[in-house]
Structure 1
Amino acid sequence: MTTDPMKPIDPLKPLAGRTAIVTGSGRNLGRGMILAFAKAGANVVVNGHRDQAAIEAVADEARALGAEALTILADVSQPDEVVRMVAETVDRFGSADIAVANVGLRPRQAFLDISVEDWRRVIETNLSSAFYLARAVLPEMKKRNWGRIIHISGRDGFFTISHRAHNVTCKAGLHSLAKAIAVEFGEFNITANTIAPGKMDTVRDEKHYPGYQAAWAEAVKVMPLRRLGTAEDVGEACVYLACGGEYVTGQLLHLNGGEFVF
């Protein structure tokens, strides 16, 4: 039986003293996760690839909620940059307790139009980045005998759509990676889980999601909850897996308003 010396006293700040890294957190779902962790009392690390202003804006929102926030520009498809990001996090906060892999490219390409270069670029960004992140944080988590790894996958990794072979392969692979981590590191009080968001009310590129707004408006009419998901929904799910789901590991959470009930 493990004990948790960091277990907080304040139930309103269940992640006080913890540090959460969220990759790709300058907008949309990543921003929602950062703010949810901040509300729960965690220190937060806001990551982006190119847009410093975007991640600074999210960090300012987190600070307004009372959290300590660090911004780090890093291309998480590059292992050396991930190692640097985690080292900066530990140097600033003393730990890296929660790691959320949330980056993703979503090119729309017919299977035979996907070049080897296209394939490698998407695999490195969407899947390998999660491996690099886990590999960098797990030694720190083992030292503290506590850790939470969360992979953000997607509905299309399990209910596949056409013209996304590279992306759907990554999304399914993220869950298998989480299960492998869960099995190998559970004895160190480290959990690893996957969240598969459904149709989300976020800003999307019409080039990659042509006509999605009209299609999703129709889909909502038959979904049990009759609404799209929000970044806040995903953020709350992450907080649950980080501090409420202590006995949950290796699992896949479909966050889709009941879309697949029928």
Structure 2
Amino acid sequence: MESKGLSRNNRENKAKPKRKEIIEKRKAMDALIKVASAEKDYLSAFPAFRHYQISGLSAFLESGRGDKLSSPVKQFIQNLLKANMEGPYGSEWPAEEKVKRREMVAPEAHYVFVRNTSNASSGEFLTTSECEKTSASCVEERGPIVGFVHFRFVIEEELPVLYVYELQLEPHVQGKGLGKFLMQLIELIACKNHMGAVVLTVQKANSAAMNFYLCKMRYVTSTISPSRVDPLIGIEKSYEILCKTFSNEAKAILEEPLELVHSV
């Protein structure tokens, strides 16, 4: 009887460190997310990605945050989302639009905005913070916004990840390599902030987006995607969750030769 009691105590003692380890791991991930989310300008670490130029398009990228958006920028985001996503969502769009409007202005919503500078003045570009310190006309002088990425740092399946909520471009700047350029930047931001993966949701009806992520960007269907969790549930759902995880080797490749990542 006594030996059984000791055996049970030993098992309990062995379980305690495991529980403690899980708690400490969660604290470490929460701290990682907090640090990553506190950054004000994610482009500051990647100056080569401030500008994008290809035949017929010259663009400037800048950072933003959901609770700092101006009214015109909010309206632009709403209009572009409706133009690009109403079709793929179909009858689900009215309800989804309300959700996206709430998500858009959350403090944890981070942005990379793309401004078309093809017809803007050729003067020196200011950073977002510098622009805010000057006049409101500065924004217009730097060209109109033609696209954006909305992303957040979250924990999915016990892994800290960068979750891409939206990647939206106006039709006239699509097909110019800009989407790939933005996703390469996102992957760099994820690696720099020690995230384990980039995750995103794509509507099945959006065949162009599905092809872009699966074929061009080499994303795969996540284990938490409906079709992977349960094929029957997957048939009913209108979306897939895609991801790209980063090994140490992949992180090294992403973090070193910016020229290769920068190429279209």
Q: What is the TM-score normalised by the length of structure 1?
A: 0.30
Asked which structure has the greater RCO (Cα within 8 Å, sep 6+), the reply is 1
Q: Which has the larger radius of gyration?
A: 2
Q: What is the TM-score normalised by the length of structure 2?
A: 0.30
The structure that is strand-richer by fraction is 2
The structure that is helix-richer by fraction is 2
